Structure 1
Amino acid sequence: MIGLIFDMDGVIVDNNDFHYKAWQQLAARHDIQIDEDFYREKMNGRTLNELMDVVFQGKIPHSEALAIGLEKEKIYRELYAKHLAPTPGLLELIATASEKEVPLVVGTSAPSENVVFTLDGLDLRKHFTGVVDDSMVTKGKPEPEVYLKCAAMINRDPQHCIVFEDAISGITAGQRAGAKVIALATSHKREELDADLIIDDFTQLRWEQIEMLIDS
């Protein structure tokens, strides 16, 4: 039986630019340097706990760094609120999965506030069996913990699951979990991604491709 596991940022919503803009605003407020290469290579896909260690490198207390990180997430939600929308083709994929009684679950490095903002803001939570967010894992991506917990949540062997990811660290996490990975080129260029299938958005995906990946 197939199970579908969705990362949230860059997959359920194409919001990478708004996260980057929020980091830029935060950097200006706190006199830190975060350029695009650093963001994409070192930050994308990590939990907030891990992110703030990367950004501040232990130069300030972790509790203070985490508070600054939560400030960034608030900036992000304010920036993206007027633009919140599902990635093209997502709703059609969800409808097909529902017809075929294939369970869906979300595995994200985002904090719970962003999960509420996204899934409830788009009225999507009802389609998913559950969510594994950053508070539910001890090791973030590229470690496989989040996706192993997602597979267990829907009672599926990871080998029978498809992980949808946009971040390089998330693709690695899905692969380490033993799942097939379909990468969305929303946060990285296609040539930077190493996955079983690469798409720009869900309009380029046919259900037959999902079945072929599981059977391969």
Structure 2
Amino acid sequence: MKAFIFDLNGTMVNDMPYHAKAWTRLLNEELHAGFSEDQIKANIYGKNPEVLARLFGEGKFSHDEAEKYSNDKEEQYRLEYKGHMELLPGLKEFLEDAYQAGIPMAIGSAAITANIDFVLDNLNIRHYFKAIVSADDVTHSKPDPETFIKPAKMMGVAPEDCVVFEDVPKGAEAAKNAGMRACILTTTHDPEDFEDRENILGFAADFNDLKIKQLIQT
């Protein structure tokens, strides 16, 4: 493998419950929408304005309203998560081993830049990554391949030489659309949720899994 590209939420840090909690507070307490837990979990992917449009329909909120609600949600997420922040088990060691092996690494995430900075700087892991692509850097969200194609280009690596680490079906689909293989962390979805497994190398609970560790040597 010549390069690794990591999704952030649910892949490097298991923070999706905190995102869900922040979304629930916005949607049901502030906007009084009354969505179920399953509805929220199924729809909180991609850019925040896309989530709002997906749940409420296009045109429900003005651009300024969508931005305000998006920012409110992210502030709540950071407030809730800061005291609980940690990498998935084994990831710090995996990053260090890959770094020492000279494997370039990048982040390709639907998170906004502020949230990526929030995680990287609080956990002191920014130095491991040669490229960072956030929701602010792309026109189209996953499953469009742009989020993964961009960091590959920034690292100077061909798509077929990249392995993507993801946790959701849309992310695995984006990797496939980019011509990349994917390794799935089962923090938020079970293996049976991934119907198309053509490009999936395997599933793992965390980065202590031997299948993931072996990627550095192959």
Fold shared, TM-score > 0.5 on shorter chain: yes
Pairing 1:208–2:214 present: yes
Alpha-carbon distance in 2 for matches of 1:164, 1:115: 16
| 8 Å contact kept, 2:143–2:170 | yes
Alignment TM-score, normalising by the size of structure 1: 0.92
Deviating more after overlay: 191-200 vs 109-118: 191-200
Distance 1:144 1:175, change over 3 A: same
| Alignment check: 8 A CA contact 2:20 2:41 kept | no
Q: Secondary structure at the match of 2:182?
A: strand
Q: Shift in Å at residue 209 of structure 1? A: 4.1
Q: CA deviation at 1:96?
A: 1.1
Q: Which residue of 2 aligns with 1:59?
A: 60
Q: Which residue of 2 aligns with 1:11?
A: 11
| TM-aligned CA distance change 1:19 to 1:115, over 3 Å | same
Verify the 8 A CA contact 1:6 1:163 in the aligned structure 2: yes
In structure 1, how many angstroms separate the alpha carbons of the residues matched to 2:140 and 2:158? 20
- After TM superposition, the structure 1 = structure 2 runs for residues 39-78 of structure 1, keeping only pairs within 5 Å, are 39-44=40-45, 46-57=46-57, 58-78=59-79
Which letter does structure 2 place at the counterpart of 1:186? T
Task: Give identity over the alignment, percent.
Answer: 33
1:153 shift after superposition: 1.2
Separation in 1 of the partners of 2:202 and 2:4?
A: 14
- CA shift at 1:211, angstroms? 5.5
Kept in 2: contact 1:23–1:34 (CA 8 A): no
CA RMSD of aligned residues (A): 1.5
The structural deviation recorded for 1:40 is 3.0
Unaligned runs of 5+ in 1: none
d(CA) in 2 for partners of 1:186 and 1:61? Answer: 34
Q: Which amino acid aligns with 1:56?
A: F
Task: Evaluate the alpha carbon distance shift between residue 211 and residue 47 of structure 1 in structure 2; reply closer, same or farther with a 3 A threshold.
Answer: farther
For residues 1-216 of structure 1, what are the structure 2 equivalents within 5 Å? 2-27=2-27, 28-44=29-45, 46-57=46-57, 58-193=59-194, 194=197, 195-205=200-210, 206-209=212-215
Q: Is residue 52–residue 66 contact of structure 1 (8 Å, CA) maintained in 2?
A: no
Aligned residues: 211
- Kept in 1, the 8 Å contact 2:88–2:206? The answer is yes
1:35 Cα deviation from its structure 2 partner = 2.4
Distance 1:210 1:7 in 2: 18
Q: Is the 8 A contact 1:7 1:165 kept in 2?
A: yes
On the 8 A contact 1:48/1:110 being kept in 2, the answer is no
Q: Which runs of 5+ in 2 are unaligned?
A: none
Report the 3-state secondary structure (helix = DSSP H, G, I; strand = E; otherwise coil) of the residue aligned with 2:208: helix
| CA deviation profile, 1:23-57 (whole Å, cap 9, x unmatched) | 1111211112332322332223x122322222332
Q: Structure 1 residue 66: deviation in Å?
A: 2.1
Contact 1:52 1:62 in 2 (8 A): no
What SS class does the counterpart of residue 203 from structure 1 fall into? Answer: coil
